[in-house]
Chains A and B, each alone.
Chain A
Amino acid sequence: MKQIIAIIRPEKFPEVKKALTDAGVKGMTIREVKGRGNQKGIKLQSRGGSYEIEFLDKIEIMVVVHSDMAQKVMDVILASARTDRGPGDGKIFVLPVDEVIRIRTGEKNDDSL
């Protein structure tokens, strides 16, 4: 089982959500986060000079899927979250998951996903 954490542009969220749902990923957990990448935020120009915005709004999507689904989920997020607007599209992290339990039934691991 793999945990996939994707940090994406907020305005791309509806597209990514739809793409994931279409790919068969129904459950997901999301939150609003702030973050920055290698560019350390962005620089804006104003009449009084330029200034930096260190942290920008992002949405973090967390899903846990069967290991053989992980590549497909990554592809789906890549295709739906990418823009041509330069840096800031976000990142995808993939982590191994030791154990999953569905609280309602006590089912474990692959049965509980």
Chain B
Amino acid sequence: MILQVDSGDTSWILGATCLVLLMTPGLAMFYGGLIRKKNVLAMFGMCLAAMIAVSIEWFMIGYSLSFSTSIGGFIGDLGYAGLVNIHVASPVGTIPATVFVVFQCVFAMITAAILASPFAERTRFGSFLLFIGIWSMIVYDPIAHWVWAPGGFLFLLHALDFAGGTVVHVNVGFSALAVALVIGKRRGFKKDPMEPHNIPMVLMGLGLLWFGWFGFNGGSALAASEIAGLAIINTNLAACSAAITWVVFEYADKNKKKPSTIGIATGVLAGLVAVTPAAGYVQPWSAFVIGIISTCAVYFVLKWRARSNLDESLDAFACHGIGGVVGAVLTGVFASVNSTGLISGNPMQIAIQALGVLCAAGYAFGVTLVLALIFKKALRIRVPEAEEYVGCDLSQHHEIAYA
């Protein structure tokens, strides 16, 4: 079905693209503030690397692999490689293909940047740059195709993923887990102090993520419509209900008894992640409940991770992986707007959602594990010991963040 291009829809998606673009520098601030000051530039460097490598990959082959004609429901063909003649391609819904390409590109960028988490404070810049471009091609593109391309096998099964709960968050969460297992912990992990060096920067970063998420979920309506509005209401509400749940947990924690700002920020993030697949498919009250349930899961997984010996340094697995799983499954429970879930008499939807999660998590974990192992054997991915003590800012960029 080819619809007429609508200028209102088009302008909203162009604006939403800009909102989502700003999420990646926001994420760099969020991550950068949480690590030691000797590595903050290297974190910004990795997020910039994700923006650059993925944008080029998206232009060369990524968009085509994700959204071109399907090969067996698994991956697109090379019909759009190099974006040749994209300006005359058929519109996607009511927006031009060119706008859809760049809107999807910023999604691929932020997803790749989230994967900087297990690389924090120990990775060579060049290795990450190469890794993230290849990862986007062989992990992100196929999963985006399964879920969002009209010929993708999960799309054909009617798996619901409004703005990328499975494609973005489940995918990157389980990929981060795989990387953490291969790359190993930072030197001095659990022995040396590794306190967040700049909490205001973390909170500014969270602000930019929250801001960008309006474009992320609101834009995924692909129209300037009541569904875009609903998605933004739900996004905001789930962020707040998740955050307040986190505050309650921290008050209840005998060792803490005070709600930390980092805790509140993590709660907001847990809500934003979980509502992503549901945003345009559920009523506001459902989004409120999704936020609460997401924190209930993420809070305890994050606590477990912090006690464990696993140095998944910035908890992409706990926040994005677990929050993404919770959101994807609950979408199957609460879907009731232009879709049906358990509460509107379609319990099968939960099984379809679970299948989507299993496929994405299994594929992302497995392929990323192999890719990371190859990088570990063939290229040096970690900096040498002396450089890790000095910090990656100096050793990778020859710069100091705060002179």
Residues of A within 8 A of B (CB): 9, 11, 13-14, 42, 44, 46, 51, 53, 56-57, 85
The CA-CA distance from A14 to B389 in the complex, in Å, is 16
Write 13 A-B pairs (CB below 8 A) sorted by A numbering: A11-B188, A11-B192, A11-B389, A42-B386, A42-B390, A44-B386, A44-B387, A44-B390, A51-B398, A57-B38, A57-B391, A85-B385, A85-B389
The CA-CA distance from A46 to B387 in the complex, in Å, is 11
**Nearest 5 interchain pairs by C-beta:** A11-B192, A11-B188, A53-B394, A44-B395, A14-B193
Min Cβ gap A89→B in Å is 12
Which one of B188, B191, B386, B398 has the greatest number of beta carbons of chain A within 10 Å?
B386
The CA-CA distance from A44 to B385 in the complex, in Å, is 11
Which residues B206-221 have CB closer than 8 A to chain A?
Answer: none
The interface residues of chain A, by DSSP majority, are classed as strand
Structural contact, B192 and A14, CB atoms closer than 8 A: yes
Extra A-B contacts (20), CB below 8 Å, given A44-B387, A53-B394: A9-B389, A11-B188, A11-B191, A11-B192, A11-B193, A13-B193, A14-B192, A42-B390, A44-B386, A44-B390, A44-B394, A44-B395, A46-B395, A51-B398, A53-B390, A56-B390, A57-B38, A57-B391, A85-B385, A85-B389
The CA-CA distance from A56 to B394 in the complex, in Å, is 10
The total of interchain contacts (Cβ-Cβ below 8 angstroms) comes to: 25
With an 8 Å Cβ cutoff, the count of chain B residues facing the other chain is 14
Min Cβ gap A43→B in Å is 9
Which chain A residue has the least Cβ–Cβ distance from B391? Answer: A57
Min Cβ gap A77→B in Å is 17
Which one of B38, B192, B193 has the greatest number of beta carbons of chain A within 10 Å?
B192
Residues of the B chain whose Cβ atoms lie less than 8 Å from the Cβ of A14: 192-193
Residues of the B chain whose Cβ atoms lie less than 8 Å from the Cβ of A85: 385, 389
The CA-CA distance from A51 to B390 in the complex, in Å, is 13
Which residues B181-201 have CB closer than 8 A to chain A?
Answer: 188, 191-193
The CA-CA distance from A85 to B387 in the complex, in Å, is 12
Residues of the B chain whose Cβ atoms lie less than 8 Å from the Cβ of A53: 390, 394
Min Cβ gap B129→A in Å is 14
Min Cβ gap A75→B in Å is 22
Residues of the A chain whose Cβ atoms lie less than 8 Å from the Cβ of B385: 85
Which chain A residue has the least Cβ–Cβ distance from B187? Answer: A11
The CA-CA distance from A53 to B393 in the complex, in Å, is 12
